[in-house]
Structure 1
Amino acid sequence: MNAEQKLIPPAIGEIWPGQGGIYAGVMPARNGQEAYHLILGDELGRFEWGPYGDESPATSLTDGQANTLALLERGAYPAAKAAAAHNAEGHTDFYLPAIAELYEAWMNIGYKDWYWLWSSSQRSAYDAFDVDFGDGIQGGGGKLGELRVRPVRRLPIQ
């Protein structure tokens, strides 16, 4: 894309043609990260989060991209692997969202019957954060439980 082209997002909750999913709004700047557009990919199915009892390096509440990379380096994390393997409209930069990204998407999009979705944010050696898209409740599901995975990708704001 050249400097003269500017991405113009659709309305929040609408498919963003050519970007691989639903536009979930702007993720505000936090913890040294710049604000960015958040795109929600398709639901990929139900997966375990990862090893029960394992203290993973995925501790960021705001940076799902960093969490996913850290989980992939460690190996046995099915939800992160599924998110990172997603390919939509030629985009291969999807990742498992951090809890703040998932909650921001819920706040912007509102009620959906997507039920419980995994985040990439570990809560403890035994649990990881999740969000119920039916009502916005955040929880801490057991890592061996299978919850839905909906990957995200980010686009810089120009």
Structure 2
Amino acid sequence: MTKQAQQTVLAAELPERGQPLAGGVFVTRYWLNGVERALILLPDELSGPWGEYGVEIKGAGSYSDGEANTRAMAEAGSVIAIKALELGGHIPSCLEGQLVMAAKADGLVVLNEERFHWLSSQRAAYTAYIMDFEDGWLSLTGEGDERLARPVRSLIIQ
């Protein structure tokens, strides 16, 4: 069962970056598809393969829209995508991963630096993006590899 998550936040109710919001930590404000949003890092850490190696998932190639990517992944059977959506979040896109890394660099969030984390942006049928939250390296790897994923939530700012 998918947890019903908060969908919007009033601009006047946004806390300072690094403070609690909607079950996680407020990372930053950003624009996605012409809409201003608040990015929240959730406390959960997931582990598993991105998806099936060699299968291109239509709708999971966005560099910026992690929620759309994650929904496409889940529809294709990705276990970590399904888990992220059940938490009321999604796996960050490349853009959202970089925003999370910027918040870490600013000392606002703590991230597991031991392993690369999945991002929801697929590059091709055999590779998806990963990020190293120690140094911020963005790279690609085979989708069948076991990696961590740190879900985020994105709220529309009203």
TM class, shorter-length: 0.7 to 0.9
Query: Any unmatched runs of 5+ in structure 1?
Result: 87-91
Q: Percent identity?
A: 33
Tell me by how many angstroms 1:9 deviates. 2.6
Deviations 1:118-155 (A, max 9, x none): 11110121111111111111011221111111111111
Return the alpha-carbon distance in structure 1 between the equivalents of residues 56 and 101 of structure 2.
27
**Richer in strand (by share):** 2
8 Å CA contact 1:13, 1:109 repeated in 2: no
Q: Given the alignment of the two structures, is residue 44 of structure 1 paired with residue 49 of structure 2, yes or no?
A: no
Q: Does residue 60 of structure 1 match 2:62?
A: yes
Between the two structures, name the one with larger relative contact order (CA 8 Å, sep ≥ 6).
2
Aligned residue pair count: 144
Note the C-alpha offset of 1:6: 5.2
- Deviation, 1:157, is 1.6
Structure 1 residues 14 and 117, CA gap change in structure 2 (3 angstroms):
farther
Determine whether 1:131 maps to 2:131: yes
* Structure 2 residue 18 is the aligned partner of structure 1 residue 13: yes
Give the Cα–Cα distance (whole angstroms) in 2 for the partners of residues 84 and 7 of structure 1.
27
Q: Does 1:148 align with 2:153?
A: no
3-state SS in 1 of match to 2:121 = strand
One-letter amino acid of the structure 2 residue matched with residue 143 of structure 1: E
Matching residue of 1:24:
27
Matched residue, 2:103: 108
Displacement of 1:51 = 0.3
Matched letter for residue 121 of structure 2: S
- TM (norm. structure 1) is 0.81
What SS class does the counterpart of residue 35 from structure 1 fall into? strand
**TM norm structure 2:** 0.81
2:75 to 69, 73, 76: 73
Following the alignment from structure 2 to structure 1, what is the Cα–Cα distance between the partners of residues 111 and 92? 18
